Amino acid sequence: MPKCNKILEPIKRYNERGVPAGIQPVMHMKYKAVIFDLDGVILSTDNYHYEAWKALADKLGIYFDETINNRLRGVSRMESLEIILEKYNGRLTDAEKLKYANEKNELYKSLLKNMAPSAVSKEVKDTMDSLRAGGILLAIGSSSKNAKFILKQVGLNDYFDSISDGEDITNSKPHPEVFQKAAQFLGVGAEVCLVVEDAVSGVEAAKAAGMDSAAIGDAAKFNLANYNLKNFSELLEIC
């Protein structure tokens, strides 16, 4: 198990949390934990991913657009590269694929350095604070190997009770592993977890983990989740 994740004793932490003044605690408590996807849910990294993949696609002479970029939601870095290479006329060795994926990631990380706490909207932060004030555990379940870097950029590195990310898993969404690990790190069962996702692959992963899901953004168009959110703050009515 990675050093940064400790198995929490559930309930014990509920009353010890610092919650900003004026935040109303959620009162229904249908779920004990909410597991948030990061990219496209807590904040948007879409443009940075797009710009970095587009630079690589241009370099290799591959057609790439926003629609293809949408297919990369929730999908791991190497699987994303494979999707982009569907429109490539040549063949790449595994070593070349790794080199290009690393190149993309270096550019992506340099763009991420522009991210600041303002990248997380007040609605998102206030909603999470209200859930926390109601005693609900909050976790990240992200396919990204950059999740901790991004959370640090936006000042949320110490905010979540647990982080399960691309560094913890061998199977990418729609496999349930990332959410199973998040629940395991929190010390709670799947049946008390709600997953919040913007990717169809993420909603499928939640379902495969035996967890309820709330879809937002792109995933909400498909009617696959238990709830479709128009706004992030609607989580307060569900939880």
Q: What is the binding site for ligand BG6 (CB under 6 A)?
A: 38-39, 49, 72-77, 80, 105, 142-146, 166, 199
Binding site for Mg ion (CB under 5 A): 37, 39-40, 198-199
In the complex with ligand BG6, the residue whose CB is nearer, 26 or 81, is: 81
103-110, long-range: CB < 8 A, 24+ apart: 103/56, 104/52, 104/53, 104/55, 104/56, 104/77, 105/52, 105/77, 105/146, 107/51, 107/52, 107/55, 107/56, 108/48, 108/49, 108/52, 108/146, 109/146, 109/149
168 catalytically annotated: no
Minimum Å gap between C-beta 202 and Mg ion is 6
Q: Which is nearer to Mg ion, 72 or 81 (CB)?
A: 72
Partner whose binding site includes residue 166, from Mg ion, ligand BG6, none (CB under 5 to 8 Å by kind): ligand BG6
Q: CB neighbours of 197 closer than 8 A, spacing ≥ 6?
A: 37, 41, 74, 203, 205, 206, 213, 214, 215, 216, 219, 225
Whichever of 38 and 195 has its CB closer to ligand BG6, that residue is 38
Binding partner of 80, given Mg ion, ligand BG6, none, CB within 5-8 angstroms per partner class: ligand BG6
Rounded-to-integer distance, Cα 4 and Cα 177, Å: 18
Which residue's CB is nearer to Mg ion, number 147 or number 236?
147
- DSSP-derived secondary structure letter, 25: P
Is 39 one of the annotated active-site residues of the chain? yes
Answer with the entry of ligand BG6, Mg ion, none that 42 interacts with (C-beta below 5 to 8 A by kind).
none
Q: Which residue numbers are catalytic?
A: 37, 39
